[in-house]
Amino acid sequence: MKKTTWIRIYHYEFWPFWLFYIPAYFYYFYLALKSRKWVYFSVLNPSMNFGGAFLSSKNTSLQNIPKQWVPKTLLVCSGEKFSCVQKKLKKKNIKLPFIVKPDMGERGKGVEVIHKLVELKDYITNHSKVSFLIQEYVKYPIELGILFYWDLKGNPQISSIGIKSFCHITGNGKDRFEELVKKNPRIQSRIPILMKRFQTEWETIVPKGKSLLVEPIGNHNRGTTFLDGRKYYSDDMLQWAVTCARQIPGFDYGRFDVKIKDMDAFKKQKGIKIMEVNGVNSEPIHIYDPNYSIWNAYRDIFFQMKIIYDLSQKRLEKECPTQSLLAFLKGTHQLLNKKIIH
């Protein structure tokens, strides 16, 4: 067995989502029984479908945020023609390159960087049955996942800060680009895609010290390393998150995925762009830091689940209705059958 395969087996950050979360499923059932509501979490974040668990519009959430914090964004409805999209892009002044992503996507599926209009045309053809977003490409170098919530006393809290370190290949002056890719356990599943993307470099020897960005999308299953960034917490960051959270009707709990110009961005109140706002499906992404232990990871996951449970019970005491179990099961069926996400 290859060394890279052993690494992916040994380190839980590479495990399939369903496998890693098995202990959390049992804890969820316990909380659901305790609550006497199978979808108790759906009472939170009333502006998001199922509290933001899934099938929630990214575009709707972003529309509530002050424009200064949001990149130029265009919603493309299912079945919309390429010529119509071109006109809207020109009107919005969104220029190449830009990001495309499903409006109701999950875990980075369907997210791409578009460099040519022909690539956009192909994307529209391949995603004709779903609505998706086109966002300007934000070149800020730092990407964070900031998990925010209001505690039971109504005080704002940040419980997780994750830093996304994008995947690079650094040459040693001996190995071809192909060999360097195959030695990297983070991008094993991306090899067929990378072969097409780096056709020119694939068979060439990468000079010693030269670094090539492999994947510009900050997603873990695309090779991005998630690092624990809680040491960068500041009151300025918290107050910024409070300002944004207050703009989202009834927002209780979720993660702001942001790009920032530098670590002083929150103090300066500029150089910040929110790429997405997630709801109760938000993970504390610091747990995927390669130096984090699996026991601490589960501890932190259960801690977040308990927060969601406690906040939902507070809303239920006020007789706020949850969404139905039947609707939740139908949504799950749609998700599993890829009718929403391609």
pLDDT digits (tens, 9 = 90+) for 83-112: 999 999 999 999 999 999 999 877 667 888
Question: From the CB of residue 152, how many other CB atoms can be counted at a distance below 10 Å?
Answer: 11
- The two tokens of residue 217 are 């999308």
DSSP class of residue 5? H
pLDDT digits (tens, 9 = 90+) for 274-319: 999 999 999 999 999 999 999 999 999 999 999 999 999 999 998 7
Of 60-69, 142-151, 189-198, 323-332, give the lowest mean pLDDT range: 323-332
pTM: 0.91
pLDDT digits (tens, 9 = 90+) for 196-244: 888 888 999 999 999 988 888 878 878 899 999 999 999 999 999 999 9
Burial letters 186-220, b for 16+ CB under 10 A, else e: bbbebeeebeeebeebeeeebeeeeeeebbebbeb
Q: How far is CA 209 from CA 169, 183, 191, 277, in A?
A: 10, 16, 22, 37
pLDDT digits (tens, 9 = 90+) for 163-186: 999 989 999 999 999 999 988 888
- The two tokens of residue 242 are 């409070």
pLDDT at 342 over 50: no
What pLDDT is stored for residue 318 in this prediction? 86
